Amino acid sequence: MNNNLDFLMEEQRLENTLNILNEEILNYIDKRKYITEYILDYRKKVIEEYKDDEDKVLEYFDHEAYVKEEAYKNIDRKLKEYTTLKENPYFGKIDFLEDGNPEEIYIGRFGLTREGTYEPVIVDWRAPIASLFYKGSLGKASYESPVGDIETDILKRRQLIIKNGTLKGIFDSAVDVKDDILQMVLTSNSGEKLKDIVMTIQEEQDEIIRAPKDKAVVVNGVAGSGKTTIALHRVSYLLYNFRKQFGDKVLILGPNDIFMDYIAGVLPSLGEDGIDNMTFEAFAKREIGLQEDVTEFAYYIEEAMNGNEKALEEYKEKSSKDFVTKLNDIVKDMDENYFNIEPVIFFDEEIVSKEEIQDLFNKHYAYMPLFRRSEKIKRILTSKIKDKRDELVWKLNKEIEEKVSELTEEELIFEKNNLDFQRRIRIREIVREVMNARDRLDEWILHEDIIDIYKRVTSTEALGYMDLAGILYLMIKLNGKKTKKEYKHLVIDEAQDYNYMQFMVLKELTGCKSCTIVGDSNQRLIDTKEIPAMLKLDDIFENNVLEFSLNKSYRSTQEIMEYASKFLDEERIVPLVRNGEKVLEEETESIEETIDTITSIIEDYEEDGLESIAVITKNKEDLKDISHKLKGKVKILTFDRNDIIYRGGKVLIPAYFAKGLEFDGVIMLEDEEETPNLVKYIMCTRALHRLSVIKQNKK
């Protein structure tokens, strides 16, 4: 009876909320209409009043553009949020005591407060008080507020399922209301799962999302632990609570364009647009201003998997701290020996001595990076040349004036032209000497392009992905380079594949102390047998690091995760208890048999209702072996390059492009040669619901 009554009361509350939402939507539509009419009316008055003053009209339109932009930005954002809420206004409810007074709040994707009131109808999940919903149990709890921690006593936590504005279910729990809902969301297909993630955030995930804004947060989490989800929701949380500080100054770096496009669809659902997101390669090339092609990261992966020792050694070398030391030694040597300093000579007179210039380099401007220092000193020395020029011109004019003053009027008639000619000749000589002095200065003070320096000191002919951080490092050390755009928060996904220098470069370039760095030490595409740099960042971020470890997987079924765990040397993954189909293992003796097996499994997956299906190979070479024949039987998209956009359906993809992605069903191809265990781990942990493994014996 009580359950029925509760359901009816929540239905009534939902109806009231939807009515308020509709009222507020209409209200904001009216606001937009009013602003439009006001601007048009005011525009007419301004044009009429200042029709003869073009500058005034232009000034008005500049101001109008700003006002219009700000007004529309706020109104449109609210309209989008409220329209989104109509489908699912809220997903959680908390009953609690605060200062002995009973309180209740409803938690939604966005907040809703009736205009002219201060009591929220719906509380945004990012608000500090909403953290109570994500606590693990009932009883004593607290949340942060501008005046400090507020103590509360949580009485009841409730999860509400609302679809298309209709209440579908209510779940209460004394421990964690999200368990039933989590199972429901996780058993859905991948496209739907992303939409509902905010209602299933776990306590350990919420702790990371709400971590202090001025910390470098490092998350080492197993496949499926929600690392990317945490990173994106942390961005949303920071922008909601500290928008003035972070604004449009957030940069997200991901492993490849496929992945970046994949997550780009999540940010708008969190209410955030206009965030810069790109690969490290794209970021580095932009900052360097590099036009030439570079060998992609995939090359090193392919070559390492194929046993190319030279490529593997290059990767290890340029990933190591020793490479940083090598570049530091080069910079130090350049600082001492790069410029062959010469005195500034003007008409055989030493106007700036070698010792004076050395003092400028080694004392007065020693704090500046070498090339910024040299450019500063060049300006000073050029100014000295100009001063000498001006001095000689002044003396010349004085001499001419004295000569003119000594001449009679008659002598002046005959000598004037001659004096003018002599003056012009002498001026020309002075100007020529200025140019010569500048040329002599340029001979020793101009420096090479930093890319050319890097190539020379590292004996690099063709640039590759592993060279980008090194070039940026030299730009920082020699030029004091900073990012072209200001950033206040940096997100790095798949951070286990970043080396020490890359982290150092990103920290120096952006100056960001606020970071979210997520990765899985078990998913390194190239295993250097060293601890990943992401777990050794204290010295880079000056002991401002908060480290979190997540070993619970929410992505895959228990059967899939137990299968994946056998490829790890370290501790096993703790799967959320969600059972599914047993992992299917098949052996094939030929390419033709492999194709037939894949086709059969895909048909089975589709009959099971799976929408996104991936056939994952070890590398691009294995992909090419089956691509043509498979496409003759199945409509499938081949991911053989970095810039293909994935919109769902069936894909054929190498393991390193699949990183960070998830699919309803996965078909994993093993060849007769041993596929590295870490690669196998990556391949099988892409699967949400079904995993099949085909072991190929190629003939």
Per-residue pLDDT tens digits for 186-237: 555 555 444 456 667 788 888 999 999 999 999 999 888 888 888 988 998 9
Instruction: Find the mean pLDDT for residues 271-284.
Output: 84
Average pLDDT, the chain: 86
Q: Above 60 in pLDDT, residue 64?
A: no
The predicted structure's pLDDT at residue 173:
67
Q: Above 60 in pLDDT, residue 608?
A: yes
Q: Above 90 in pLDDT, residue 690?
A: yes
Phi, psi (deg, nearest 5) at residue 451: -60, -45
Q: How far is CA 86 from the centre of its chain?
A: 31
Which pair of tokens denotes residue 344? 């500034």
Q: Above 50 in pLDDT, residue 566?
A: yes
Q: Pick the range with the lowest mean pLDDT from 170-184, 279-293, 663-677.
A: 170-184
Instruction: Find the mean pLDDT for residues 396-401.
Output: 90
Q: Above 80 in pLDDT, residue 170?
A: yes
Residue 638 and residue 186: Cα distance in Å, rounded? 27
The predicted structure's pLDDT at residue 101:
92
Q: Above 70 in pLDDT, residue 68?
A: no
Helix (H, G, I), strand (E, B) or coil at 212: coil
The predicted structure's pLDDT at residue 195:
47
Which pair of tokens denotes residue 448? 């090479």
Q: Above 90 in pLDDT, residue 17?
A: yes
Which candidate, 459, 455, 530, 84, places its Cα nearest to that of 268? Answer: 84
Residue 488 and residue 232: Cα distance in Å, rounded? 15
- Kindly give the pairing relationship between strand 250-254 and strand 663-670: unpaired
Percent of the chain with pLDDT over 90: 51
Going by pLDDT thresholds of 50, 70 and 90, the confidence category of residue 1 is very low
Q: Across-strand partners of 237?
A: none
In angstroms, what is the C-alpha Rg of the chain?
Answer: 34
Helix, strand, coil in percent for the chain, rounding step 5? 55, 20, 30
Instruction: Find the mean pLDDT for residues 581-590.
Output: 92
b/e code 471-492 from CB counts within 10 Å (16+ = b): bbbbbbbbbebebeeebbbbbb
Going by pLDDT thresholds of 50, 70 and 90, the confidence category of residue 339 is very high
Residue 437: burial class (beta carbons within 10 Å; 0-12, 13-18, 19+): buried
Q: Above 80 in pLDDT, residue 348?
A: yes
The predicted structure's pLDDT at residue 396:
92
Q: Is the pLDDT higher at 76 or at 73?
A: 76
Going by pLDDT thresholds of 50, 70 and 90, the confidence category of residue 293 is confident
Residue with tokens 């500290």: 242
Residue 258 and residue 661: Cα distance in Å, rounded? 9
Instruction: Find the mean pLDDT for residues 359-369.
Output: 95
Q: Above 90 in pLDDT, residue 613?
A: yes
The predicted structure's pLDDT at residue 62:
52
Which pair of tokens denotes residue 196? 């509902």
111, 120 contact by CB (below 8 A) = yes
Residue 166 and residue 634: Cα distance in Å, rounded? 39
In tens, the pLDDT along 39-60 reads 677 767 766 666 666 666 556 5
Residues contacting residue 534 through CB under 8 Å, at least 6 positions apart = 218, 220, 492, 495, 496, 498, 503, 517, 519, 521
Going by pLDDT thresholds of 50, 70 and 90, the confidence category of residue 576 is low
Q: Above 70 in pLDDT, residue 457?
A: yes
In tens, the pLDDT along 482-513 reads 998 999 999 999 999 999 999 999 999 999 99
Q: Above 90 in pLDDT, residue 116?
A: no
The DSSP symbol for 113 reads: E
The DSSP symbol for 648 reads: S
Residue 545 and residue 276: Cα distance in Å, rounded? 23
Instruction: Find the mean pLDDT for residues 115-137.
Output: 88
Residue 445 and residue 438: Cα distance in Å, rounded? 10
What pTM was computed for the model? 0.84
In tens, the pLDDT along 480-489 reads 999 989 999 9
State the CB neighbour count (10 A cutoff) for residue 233. Answer: 24
Percent of the chain with pLDDT over 70: 88
Q: Is the dihedral of CA 460, 465, 471, 477 positive or negative?
A: negative
Residues contacting residue 305 through CB under 8 Å, at least 6 positions apart = 618, 619, 676, 679
Going by pLDDT thresholds of 50, 70 and 90, the confidence category of residue 271 is low
Query: Using N-to-C axis directions, what is the helix angle for 409-445 and 370-406, rounded to 10°?
Result: 170
